[in-house]
Amino acid sequence: MLTDTLKSLYQRDLERLIFQLNQYSEEKNLWVLVAGINNPAGNLCLHLVGNLNMFIGKILGNTDYVRKRDQEFALRGVPRKDLIQMIVDTQKVLDKTLSNLTSDELQKEYPLKVFKEKMTVEYFLVHLSSHLTFHLGQIDYHRRILDK
């Protein structure tokens, strides 16, 4: 079933996110702005955690998560260990939520209008996985620039 595939992909890519954060030679570099790159790794991490907890955890899993999107891009200096704990907590939410979705629920319309067009839950879950990998690549690039 698609949920098993998605659980595997989210788990893999969130583990890669933890790996990338741990690869920074200096923790302060997680928050360094680089010319031509709008968001440092720390903010992208906060954004990914917020995005997944909102659109999967809260909307599909009925958690009590409250997203503060502006802070995802405004906060600075969150310790690496705290970012990693947020990712671990997000992994648990995703696993639980995706484990409870049925094939029929995947074909239903996603409850929020996020884009101009209506979409199925299945479509949006695949989109969110792509969104995660897009930002994961940005983080890898950011780290490589700073850790030459």
pLDDT in tens, 38-73: 999 999 999 999 999 999 999 999 999 999 999 999
Residue 33: what pLDDT? 95
Residue 83: what pLDDT? 98
Q: Residue 93: pLDDT above 90?
A: yes
Q: Residue 148: pLDDT above 80?
A: no
Percent helix, strand, coil in the chain, to 5, is: 70, 5, 25
Residue 51: what pLDDT? 98
CATH topology of domain 2-146: Four Helix Bundle (Hemerythrin (Met), subunit A) (1.20.120)
- Stretch 104-117: mean pLDDT: 94
pTM: 0.95
